[in-house]
Structure 1
Amino acid sequence: MAMTERIRKPPTRMPRWTVWTKKRRMKGWPVDSKVVNEFHADRFQKEKMRRTKRMRMVRRKSLMTKRMKMKTKMEKGKRTKMKSVGRRKNLDMMEKLMTMKMMRMRMRMKECGADCAKFQKSELEYKFNRKALARPYTSKHSWGRTYGEHKRHLEFSHDQYKELQSYAQEVGIFFTASGMDEMAVEFLHELNVPFFKVGSGDTNNFPYLEKTAKKGRPMVISSGMQSMDTMKQVYQIVKPLNPNFCFLQCTSAYPLQPEDVNLRVISEYQKLFPDIPIGYSGHETGIAISVAAVALGAKVLERHITLDKTWKGSDHSASLEPGELAELVRSVRLVERALGSPTKQLLPCEMACNEKLGKSVVAKVKIPEGTILTLDMLTVKVGEPKGYPPEDIFSLVGKKVLVTVEEDDTILEESVENHGKKVKS
């Protein structure tokens, strides 16, 4: 196949002046040298003016940028200030809502039949050291980045406690709190609470116990996380200073599993400390175990309550909602009535059943007048009329009958010589 060779043509060269002139004409610029000089001078002047104007614009823009930055900083400061004020307002609103929520809860407690509403009071700097308050707290139940922030969010102020106490008086329910440190106890003492609650975390805090006992108010002492030896020491410390106190069997877990409740400790406390009341502080779900504690003799019953178990917080799931609390109170009152008296006797309510089904001693055979009774002459049946009760059958043996007793007749009191009918008591 034949190949055609491309032939390159040499470039057409034009004189430099011609090229320059052609370009200027294409742009519409002058070609004459005199006019060109004037044109360039005018162009240079215009370019200088444009540059000056551009520089002014740059400076103006720079100045505007600086002003904008300053304005932004000022606005940011205003926003920060407004944000902090808004946060304070939000916190105030949250505090009011929490107080209202607690008031609502106290009212529900009263409606459910509870005797006392108990809170927890802490003065955080006296309960925790600085490192404990500063430690990170990343739990799903946390209300702050550190444990201190978390606790401060939850802690009520002194004024709020006074407000809650006043409201409790209005609705007619006792108001108190667990003093979680010595300063908290001082505050509660000033509030004139009816009794001090000692939380499980302070039960082995012997200096705290001594100072609290010396206040002279009744004490309710929980025993979670403690051993029996520790509880014996607590008894020996508190008893000489303040005899008006009680122990609560408690296991510190939320929620508490049934196998860790150990209700038998209540009976053991009753044996070891017979001169003080024994109670139960429960963290389990439901009410059955608490009712069982009352049946075992618990004189004080403490349970956590909530308006909603799904709320944020580690103990809401182990708390009772108002309906459950009402059912617990009804069940406890029922058990208290059912415990009754330790005296065993025939009760008036049993008389109808005794008349209908109570048995008597009857003649197994015909017994002639003057016969000395033997056991094989007697048997026990539901008889009419009522005669000697079955428990008297052995005492009838050897007695003489005064009248003839037909077979299957009841042995009556007047039928037997010198034998009075026993009355059940």
Structure 2
Amino acid sequence: MKKREFVIGSKVVNDASECFVIAEVGHNHQGSVEMCKEIFKAARTSGASAVKLQKRDNKSLYTASFYDTPYNSENAYGPTYGLHREALEFGEAEFRELKQYAEELGLVFFSTAFDFKSADFLANLDIPCYKLASGDITNIPLLQYVAKIGKPMIISTGASTMEDVQRAHDAIMPINPQLAILQCTASYPCGFGEMDLNVIKSYRDAFLEATIGLSSHDNGIAMAVAAYVLGARVIEKHFTLNRAMKGTDHAFSLEPQGMSKMVRDLSRLRTALGSSEKQMFDSEKAARGKMGKKIVAARPLPAGHLLQEGDLAFKSPGDGLAPYYAFELYGKVLKTSLQEDEEVYFEHVEARSSELVAG
């Protein structure tokens, strides 16, 4: 079996790696290149690995009637849904400027492609990775079209069934094995009872060569840490400068402080998971001595006394014979008298099994 590994530019993501954290900017930039740059800068300061935009060719993506549907939302940037989307769309010049800026910051820059024309648009920019949204989980023609471009692919799986995900996986992998599959719930925000983080384990069992992750729409940072423990190595969170800003995605996005804490906790977690072998650290030895127990006489005991339960006590500090040896002392005769709280050793008794080793 091939190693489960996903490579984006210089970033290598596998089971042993740090988490690849995507700050999903989407259209939180409100159509402003300068605001988008501020978001990128904040994402870099917060420790994100990558920033992601969205690209739509709105005329080809929507039916004419849907494009022209009146859009009266308080978050609208145009009188119709199509014009609202157009107001938030960046063109080639903006994308190139933002790609260069992200790279200068040391961030991976990529985008979601919502349609064929957008996929071609992004290919022309030579972006290092493609995201496919949950809405395209059944769009096998688009998935395969993007797969043939030959760049790593990340797919979200909100509002889908395991059958949908399996179909998408099977369509992509023969063409492009560089695939990451993200557990996702297409609710905005997502209630904790609908996150189904255990699906991450199901995906790892079902898709042995795909990298697994989480696209999380919850209002918090703890679920990303839980996802990493379950095996997720890609975490995508919507990101904004201020959740109160105009736009539908800001309310469930992380602000810089939240992103910083999430990245911090993911880093701490990877360190804290440590080894699967139980070990005692040097830093614990003082505590073991102070809080551990040793075998002492429970009361004054004369020489010739036959040791029985009740004759021995177990007290701190633990700098003597460990309590588990008590069972080897019972039934043996003392060679010497002992005072209360005096430490008891095998040399104090007449008979000692040749198999015993003093602790």
Whether 1:261 and 2:195 are equivalent positions in the alignment is: yes
Select the residue among 167, 177, 188 that pairs with 1:243. Answer: 177
CA offsets 1:95-141 (integer angstroms, 9 cap, x no match): 99701110111011111111111111122234223333233323222
**Shift of residue 143 of structure 1?**
1.8
2:146 corresponds to which residue? 212
- Does the CA contact (< 8 Å) of 1:385 and 1:410 recur in 2? no
Q: What is residue 202 of structure 1 aligned with on the other side?
A: 136
8 Å contact kept, 2:302–2:334: no
Question: Quick check: 1:223–1:248 contact (8 Å CA) kept in 2?
Answer: yes
Q: Which ranges of structure 2 fall in alignment gaps of 5 or more residues?
A: 1-28
Q: 2:119 aligns with which of 148, 162, 185?
A: 185
- 1:325 is displaced (CA, Å) by 2.0
- Correspondence for 2:34: 100
Report the secondary structure of 2:252's partner residue: coil
- Residue 92 (structure 2) pairs with residue 158 (structure 1): yes
Alpha-carbon offset, residue 201 of structure 1: 1.0
Which residue identity lines up with residue 174 of structure 1 in the other structure? V
Q: Secondary structure at the match of 2:213?
A: strand
Deviation for aligned residue 1:295: 4.3
**Alpha-carbon contact 1:384-1:410 (below 8 Å) kept:** no
Distance 1:203 1:397 in 2: 69
2:110 alignment partner in structure 1:
176
Which of 81, 84, 88 is residue 147 of structure 1 equivalent to?
81
TM-score after normalising by structure 1:
0.66
Post-superposition Cα deviations, 1:347-387, rounded to whole Å, max 9, x if no partner, equal: 22211211111123456685969x99887765543355333
Q: Which moved more, 1:158-167 or 1:309-318?
A: 309-318
Structure with bigger strand share is 2
Q: CA deviation at 1:236?
A: 2.8
| 2:46 counterpart letter in structure 1 | C
Gaps of 5+ in 1: 1-94
Runs of 4+ in 1 over 6 A off after TM superposition: 371-377, 397-403
Shift of 1:409: 4.4
Question: How far, CA to CA, are the matches of 1:411 and 1:194 in structure 2?
Answer: 69
User: How many angstroms does 1:219 deviate by?
Assistant: 2.0
- 1:168 Cα offset (Å): 0.7
Alignment CA distance shift 1:299-1:96 (3 Å): closer
| Distance (whole Å) between structure 2 residues aligned to residue 266 and residue 232 of structure 1 | 14
With CA pairs under 8 Å and 6+ residues apart, which has the higher RCO, 1 or 2?
2
Larger Cα-atom Rg: 1
Give the Cα–Cα distance (whole angstroms) in 2 for the partners of residues 283 and 293 of structure 1: 13
Quick check: 1:420 aligned with 2:354? no
Q: Secondary structure at the match of 2:186?
A: coil
- Displacement, 1:331? 2.8
CA distance in 2, matches of 1:171, 1:101: 15
- Partners of 1:255 and 1:283 within 8 A in 2: yes
- 1:330 partner letter: R
| Mean Cα deviation higher: 174-183 or 399-408 | 399-408
- Partner Cα separation in structure 1 for residue 344 and residue 206 of structure 2: 52
Q: How does 1:290-305 map to 2 (within 5 A)?
A: 290-305=224-239
Cα gap change, 1:180/1:386 in structure 2, threshold over 3 Å: closer, same or farther? farther
**1:333 alignment partner in structure 2:** 267
Going from structure 1 to structure 2, the CA distance change for 1:96 and 1:292 (only over 3 Å counts) comes to closer
The alpha carbon displacement at 1:313 in A equals: 1.5
The alignment of Structure 1 onto Structure 2 pairs a total of residues equal to: 325
Residue type of the partner of 1:419? L
Q: Which residue pairs with 2:294 in the alignment?
A: 360
* C-alpha contact (below 8 Å) 2:242/2:250 kept by paired residues: yes
Percent identity (aligned)? 34
CA distance in 2, matches of 1:122, 1:401: 88
- Report if aligned partners of 1:362, 1:383 keep a CA contact under 8 Å in 2: no
Residues 297 and 148 (structure 1 numbering): CA distance in 2 closer, same or farther, change over 3 Å? same
| Change in 2 beyond 3 A, CA 1:277/1:138 | same
CA distance in 2, matches of 1:235, 1:378: 65
CA contact (8 A) 1:367 1:377 kept: no
Q: Distance in 2 between matches of 1:303 and 1:197?
A: 13
Q: In structure 1, give the amino acid aligned to 2:357.
A: G
One-letter amino acid of the structure 1 residue matched with residue 179 of structure 2: F
CA contact (8 A) 2:307 2:334 kept: no
